Every structure is written in structure tokens, then in C-alpha cells.
Amino acid sequence: MKFLIVALDYFFGLAFLLLFLLFTPLADDWSPFTVRFFFISGFLGMSLAQMWFPVNLGRTANDSGQLFRNALGVSLVFIVGTYITMRILYHPGVDTGRWLSLIGVAFLFCFLVFRWLEKKALTRLWASGYKVVRVIAIGNGDNFSRIIRHFAKSPGLGFRIVGCYTDDPSTEYAETLGSVAEGMEIIRSNKSFPGTIDALLCGFPTSESRSLNDCAFYCNSRVLRYYYAPSDDTLGVHLKPMLIGNDEVFTLFHLPLSIPTNQFIKRAFDIVFSVCVLIPLGLFIPIIALIIKRQSPGPIFFKQARTGMDGRTFMCYKFRSMHVNKDADKVQATKDDPRKFPFGNFMRKSNIDELPQFWNVLKNDMSIVGPRPHMLKHTEMYSKLLDKYMVRHFVKPGITGWAQESGFRGETKELWQMEGRVKCDIWYIEHWSFWLDIRIILLTVKSVFIHDKQAY
């Protein structure tokens, strides 16, 4: 199967090169050597593509964004190689730019279509039962149950839970063969599980090192794949491997924004975007100020101490949307809050009150996208109630964030609402990319025109 897919990829690349040769103007001195050189270059290009796309030959799956980025990278490499080849083989009079544009777009389109078809074909094969990985699952916990449920609902992943040893009666997506103790007895006595299996999925707390070691030893001795799903991490954060010099250590969080290149990209975008917003905003400030003054005596801007990156305190700026009151630093805004005046209520629903925070972005206190900064009282309160609450301060706070676009916006009446917000913030921190920021910004712009019920 793998050989067939690789062969099809190479066939696609060579067919593309052949079409390129048939429909582009050749130099007068085209020779058999240059023909061979061109085909060998294309063949090596497709080999490079295989190294960039090993995921479809395995059991893991890239999302569509990753697929596009990898295809774009391969296409850019191919375009650069083609440009160099064309400069060597073609006359100066040939319109290199036009042909290069056509070749680049065609190659990217064909490559994306081919990879999409390949992924669909593999998904259908695995869903039909072709070479599925048969898994015995043993353990407890929400994360353990979630993975079993995901395997059951996504047969195209190529995994089948043939049986489960658990003490959790809510595990309904796999046949329960016994308790965890009964499963561990089979493992420690080195007996065989019922039926034929290819892998073992374990869901234990990290504190149960003996059980984890026994499962690993059992898999090694029987040539089984070993998968581990920690069951004691309610916010979905796991230990991540990283290298310090030549030594491998494990860390709690993978932080893409700890890489200087990513920091530069995010900061540069923040500066450019903020300047583009603040320049036209300056024209509207007198109008906004006049309306605020007419409806509510007091300052135009509201400033409040909030918790920023690394737990540092900074002053956050907003257009004032409430009457001056003594509870501003203690009580969250509610849906029918009597402290809001009419225009202030409109500003809050349309996010206009947040626009002065682009000044905070220029000052480097905030970023355009990131976890929303909370007032100091809430930081003190929730840091005692949620053990991972302060993790959200590993990055700069944002004007908008993934949690807000995932439904966790506005007042947090119950603890689970803040827990959901923290979970989303941690997910954003660990999965940051420039394209994710763009997506969140577009969703935020959409919410300006389509009212969010949580915006008050």
C-alpha cells in the first residue's frame, strides 16, 4: 500500500514535468543532457515532497491548514528550482515570470488535489477495515474515555478498540471486558488478551509509574504498539519532550511563541495592524468622546490594572462604557448592568470600547490575539481555584482570543465557565500560529456585525 502511494506521487510529479516540457518554449540548444537533468530535478523534487508529507502514510492526520502550508512550502521549493532551471535552459527573451506563475499555481493546485484524494482514499480503506490497528484499552479518566469515543466515531483513523478494561461505567463506546485490576493481572502474568491485538492504550495517572512500566514491558515483550493517555490532567496538558543541547527533557507546555522567529512575526504584525487601526481611530475619538460626555459625566477613557505576561501588572485602556462607580475594579459587567449608559452598552456589544487597547499593543503590554487580561481581583481569586489558571500568562494578553471566539466570553457566573476559558487559552498557547491569529481576528470582525449574545 505504501509503495503504491509513493509510486503514484512520483508518477504525478513526472506527469507534471512532461506536460511542462510539452507546453513551454524550449531553447535552441536543448540537449539530451539537459532533458535528463530536468527530469532528475523533478524526481528529486517529488522525493522532497515525500519527506514533507509522511503523515498520510502513517496513522496520524494533519489538519487542512497544515496540509496547505506543507504543499505551499513544497511548491515554493519547486518554483525556485524551476526558475533556476529556466534561467539556465531558456533564452533571455522567454517570459519567465508568466511561465513561472502558471507553473507555481498549477503545481500547488494539483498537489493539494492529489493529497486530498490520497487522504480520502486512505480514510475509506481504514474505515472498511483494511489493516486496522486492533487496540485493547485499559484505564480510567475523562481523557481516556474521550480517546476511546474518538476512535469509535472516527473509523477512518484506522484504530479499533476491541475491548476495554476500566472501572468507569460511562465507557459506552467499547466492550468492557473487565476491571482495571483484571486487565493488569493479565499484563503482570504475561498472559494473552482475548483475540488478536496490535496495540495497548493505557490511561493511568502519571503517579502510577508501576502500572505504566508493567504495560510498557508487556508491549515490548509481545511486539505491541504502546499508547499512553494521561488521565490526571483535566485541562488537556501533557508532558512534551524537548532538547536542551543533546539532552532530552520533558516540559509541561509546548510554547511556539518561545521561538524568537515566531515572536518577531507576531510582534511585527501587532505593530503594523495597530498603527493601521489607531490612525483612523484618531479621527473618530472626538465624536466618541462627545457622545460619552453627553450621556455620562467623567473621563473619556477607562483604565484598569490587569494581569499581563509573566504575571506583571499593567494599565489596560478602554473607552468608558459605564457610569463612574466604586465597583469597577471588583464586579464584572452583567447583561442588564445598571452601571452602563446607552452608548456604552452599544460600544460593549460591538467591541468598540476595546479599540484603545491597540495603544496597549503598541506599548508591548498586550498583543492583538491572546488570552484576555483579567482584573487583579479575579487573578487572585481564580489562581487559587484553578491550578493551571496562571499558565495563560506565559504569553502577552490579547484584545481578542480563542476562548472568546469559542463561546467563553463575558461574565463567568460559575467555575466551569472560567475553567473552559482557561482550557481554550492553554490550547491557543500550545497551538499558536500566524494563521490561527488571522482566523481569530476574522472571527472577531464577524462578531462586530453578527451580535454575540455573550457580549454585554
Three-state SS sequence of 336-352 = CCCCECHHHHHHHHHCH
Q: Going by C-beta distance under 8 Å and a sequence separation of 6 or more, which residues neighbour residue 229?
A: 139, 141, 143, 144, 147, 201, 202, 203
Q: Regarding beta strands 225-228 and 367-369, do their DSSP bridges make them parallel or antiparallel, or are they unpaired?
A: unpaired
Q: Which residues of the chain have pLDDT under 50?
A: 27-28, 51, 53-62, 234-237, 456
Residue 146: the pLDDT is: 81
Strands 247-251 and 240-244, bridge-based pairing? antiparallel
Question: Which residue, 159, 111, 153, 167, is CA-closest to 136?
Answer: 159
Query: In whole angstroms, how far apart are CA 339 and each of 208, 235, 414, 449?
Result: 52, 35, 22, 25
Identify the pLDDT of residue 25: 52
pTM of the predicted structure, to 2 decimals: 0.56
User: What structural domains does the chain harbor?
Assistant: 2-127 (no CATH), 133-232 (3.40.50.720), 258-449 (no CATH)
Can you say whether residue 350 is alpha, beta or left, with left for phi > 0 and alpha for psi between -120 and 50 degrees? Answer: alpha
CA distances from 346 to 87, 319, 322, 342 (A): 60, 12, 11, 6
pLDDT at 311: 85
385-408 residue pLDDT tens: 887 888 888 899 999 999 888 887
What is the per-residue pLDDT for 49? 55
Give the pLDDT score at 40: 55
Beta pairing, strands 133-139 & 199-203: parallel
Q: How far is CA 209 from CA 135, 221, 297, in A?
A: 21, 18, 63
Which is nearest to 188 in space by CA: 166, 207, 205, 210? Answer: 210
| Contact indicator for 123, 213 with CB cutoff of 8 Å | no
**pLDDT for the residue numbered 234:** 44
What confidence score (pLDDT) does residue 405 get?
Answer: 84
Q: For position 329, what pLDDT does the model report?
A: 64
Q: What are phi and psi of 334, to 5 degrees?
A: -110, 175
Q: Looking at the chain, how many residues does it have?
A: 456
Task: Please give the distance of CA 85 from its chain centroid, rounded to a whole number.
Answer: 37
